[in-house]
Amino acid sequence: MSDASHKIAAGQLQRAAFVYIRQSSPNQVEHNRESTQRQYALAQRALALGWHEQQVSVVDEDLGLSGASVAHRSGFARMTAEVALGHVGIILGLEVSRLARNNSDWYRLLDLCSMTDTLIGEPGSFQRPPFAWSEGHHE
């Protein structure tokens, strides 16, 4: 476990860890393979933070789709629903602000994370919403 793991509640560790994988276009998927590999590697971050392998869910069905709207993004919709149901302890992404490019979708996810005590993290940090990224407590 990492030094940051002491800030993760036992109840969060009993729920799933979601790793959201995304590139905005098929061209990015083809030409930015290193970024995609780094995103898949976030599953190892979840393990290092204390989640068990069977609890880690990698959401990659939205690869190559724009984040401008949740329309046609079944992975984002599924992840949001799981958060709303209280099934998720943490969401990890390479740049979490890119999970949604539409402010209403992003703020809806943040609100749900806040209500269900779901952490949101990226390499090197995680937060408890609500938060301001520029003033957040980075791990």
| Per-residue pLDDT tens digits for 65-121 | 665 555 678 898 899 999 999 999 999 988 777 676 667 888 888 899 999 999 998
For residues 43-65, average pLDDT: 91
Q: Which two tokens stand for residue 129?
A: 């919403």
- Annotated catalytic residue 24: yes
Residue of 5, 24, 57, 66 marked active site: 24
The answer to whether the beta carbons of residues 45 and 63 sit under 8 Å apart is: no
Beta bridge partners, 120, equal 91, 127
Is this prediction's pTM over 0.85?
A: no
Q: Which two tokens stand for residue 122?
A: 């990226």
Position 13 scores a pLDDT of: 96
For residues 26-54, average pLDDT: 84
Q: How confident is the model at residue 132 (pLDDT cuts 50, 70, 90)?
A: very low
